[in-house]
Amino acid sequence: MTSNKGVSSFSIVLPSQLQNAVQQGLLVEEPIPNLYVLGTVHIGSKSADEARVLIEAVRPTKVIVELPPSRLSRVRAKIKAKKEDKSNLSNSERVTFLRAIGMYPSLALAGWSKGGISGFLFSTSIVWPSLLKRSITGNEEEDELPRVNEFDATVEAGDKFDAEIIASDLEFDELIQSIVSSMTPISWMKIGTRLSLEAIGLLPTDPIRRKKGESLLAWEARRRSVSTARSSRTHGEISAPEIHNTLVVERDEKFAQLCLEALESNERVVCICGLVHLDGILEKLQDDK
């Protein structure tokens, strides 16, 4: 075993699938002793497979996952129901186009009631369009590249090995409040102008978006790239700095802090988060070492 500041590192040989993830930069093995950080993408099933295999290989005592606490309970209920009736529940979870359209009023109302005009704009111009875009490719993904939710898979694997699951993300109400506190009318005007210019092709769009004519497999391969995640992060910093700070930077800090707290008792810890957060988490960990 090696040590750093009195913390012992358990010797673990990762299986080839995870060694490949390390080589790709998706998995960071012990940036500080006993911690494994996996960056995931929300497409296909490879990230879910890597999360399961990582937890099985490391047998962590604590698993930090990018979920709000309220969703953690829903995920566990869903896993239990799936085991009891042995049915595939993925179809009922898929956001269809009509379902996405129908979600607009409730999102708009929730945003307004919890955050006034800023909450309304965030819910209707940021959250809802992302759901709508996801719904458009829903049938294609189901046929060609079925998605397995990596955070659900993390919870199922962690519970299987009796790990403590730490839901590390903000609740929607908390997210709205953070947006409200950071945005001004001028900020929204700048974002609206930027989005309009991107829509007509005068400014580049987020690199993480699917390109015209790009196959699902090619899109998946491009998204499973640290360089794409970094480019997307840079785009967010430029196009919507206040929202980027709330959605990315502040959450990086929270995830990193929870990792450090979990490691205080010489525990084995796995952190599963979106790939866009990976660099930020590692930077915060190094700053606090």
What span, in angstroms and rounded, lies between the C-alpha atoms of 122 and 112?
9
Largest CA distance in the chain: 57
Q: Per-residue pLDDT for 111 more than 90? A: yes
How sure is the predictor about 289, in pLDDT bands with cuts at 50, 70 and 90?
low
What pLDDT does residue 139 have? 67
Q: What is the mean pLDDT of residues 181-203?
A: 94
Q: What is the mean pLDDT of residues 205-233?
A: 95
Half-sphere exposure of 278 (CA within 13 A, CB side): 28
More confident residue, 265 or 69: 69
CA dihedral 127, 128, 129, 135 (to 10 degrees): 120
pLDDT, the chain, mean: 90
Burial 4-22 (b: 16+ CB within 10 A, else e): eeebebeeeebeeebeebe
Q: What is the mean pLDDT of residues 33-60?
A: 96
Q: Are strands 7-8 and 3-4 parallel, antiparallel or unpaired?
A: antiparallel
What pLDDT does residue 265 have? 83
What span, in angstroms and rounded, lies between the C-alpha atoms of 84 and 47?
25
User: Which amino acid would we find at residue 10?
Assistant: F
What span, in angstroms and rounded, lies between the C-alpha atoms of 161 and 180?
40
How sure is the predictor about 96, in pLDDT bands with cuts at 50, 70 and 90?
confident
Give pLDDT tens digits for 127-156.
999 888 888 776 677 778 888 999 999 999
What pLDDT does residue 86 have? 59
pLDDT > 90: percent of the chain: 78
Q: Per-residue pLDDT for 87 more than 60? A: no
What span, in angstroms and rounded, lies between the C-alpha atoms of 88 and 99?
19
- Least Cα distance to 111 among 124, 129, 126, 95 occurs for 124
What span, in angstroms and rounded, lies between the C-alpha atoms of 155 and 58?
15
The answer to whether 126 and 33 are in contact (CB under 8 A) is no
The answer to whether 35 and 29 are in contact (CB under 8 A) is no
How sure is the predictor about 234, in pLDDT bands with cuts at 50, 70 and 90?
very high
How sure is the predictor about 209, in pLDDT bands with cuts at 50, 70 and 90?
very high
| DSSP single-letter state for residue 189 | H
What pLDDT does residue 93 have? 55
What pLDDT does residue 89 have? 45
Give pLDDT tens digits for 7-34.
455 668 899 999 999 999 999 999 999 9
Across the chain, the runs of DSSP E, i.e. the strands, are 3-4, 7-8, 27-29, 35-40, 62-65, 164-167, 269-274
- Helices then strands, each counted (H, E), the chain: 15, 7
The answer to whether 232 and 208 are in contact (CB under 8 A) is yes
What pLDDT does residue 5 have? 43
Residue 202: exposure state from Cβ atoms within 10 A (0-12, 13-18, ≥19): exposed
What pLDDT does residue 2 have? 34
Write down how long the chain is: 289
